[in-house]
Amino acid sequence: MKRATLFCLISLVLLSSSDAFAGDPFHYDQRTRLVNNSELILINHGLCVNENDCTKKKFVFAGGSTGGIHLEVYGVSDLPVIERIIDASIVEYGRNNKKIGVSVEFYRGKHEESEGFTGLFTSPFIKLHLSGEE
């Protein structure tokens, strides 16, 4: 019983100290800001009426990891829209002093087309990858 308690305590200390050094491992604030900016661009170009409409149409998906932010944009092939989202991604990258990586992938098809087995063969037609310096 003492070994189990000691193991739990050591595990707890290691987990809490690794979180303290890593910061926000999922970069929630940066990811949210980039998604909001991307949706605003889509709204300004008439692809969505508002944020809820963008969500329903499944244009933008984002994830985070210790390596940075990953954004996927579906169903957008209009070059001015893509350029604005890339610009927003570069601004977010610079805003974080290049410490948090940012990658963006653009798919011509809708998100539903990339799900399941057929999604294994779907690849983006534009990729941007900015490496973080953490």
Q: Where are the domains of the chain?
A: 23-130
Lowest mean pLDDT among 40-44, 50-54, 64-68: 64-68
Averaged pLDDT of the chain: 77
Q: In this predicted model, what pLDDT tens digit does every residue of 23-34 receive, in sequence order?
A: 455 787 888 899
What would the two tokens of residue 46 be? Answer: 């008439």
* Of 25 and 88, the one with more pLDDT: 88
Identify the band that residue 121 occupies on the pLDDT scale cut at 50, 70 and 90: low
* Of 18 and 76, the one with more pLDDT: 76
Tell me if 26 sits within 8 A of 69, measured CB to CB: no
What would the two tokens of residue 58 be? Answer: 């499944």
Secondary structure (DSSP) of the chain: -HHHHHHHHHHHHHHHHHHHHH--TT-HHHHHHHHHHHHHHHHHTTS-SSHHHHHHHT-EEEEEETTEEEEEEES---HHHHHHHHHHHHHHHHHTTT-SEEEEEEESS-GGGGSTGGGGG---SEEEEE----
* Of 109 and 18, the one with more pLDDT: 109
* Of 114 and 13, the one with more pLDDT: 114
Q: In this predicted model, what pLDDT tens digit does every residue of 48-61 receive, in sequence order?
A: 999 999 999 989 98
Q: Is 3.30.70 the CATH classification of the domain at 23-130?
A: yes
Q: According to the model, what pLDDT value does residue 60 have?
A: 92
Q: In this predicted model, what pLDDT tens digit does every residue of 93-116 receive, in sequence order?
A: 888 888 888 999 999 877 666 665
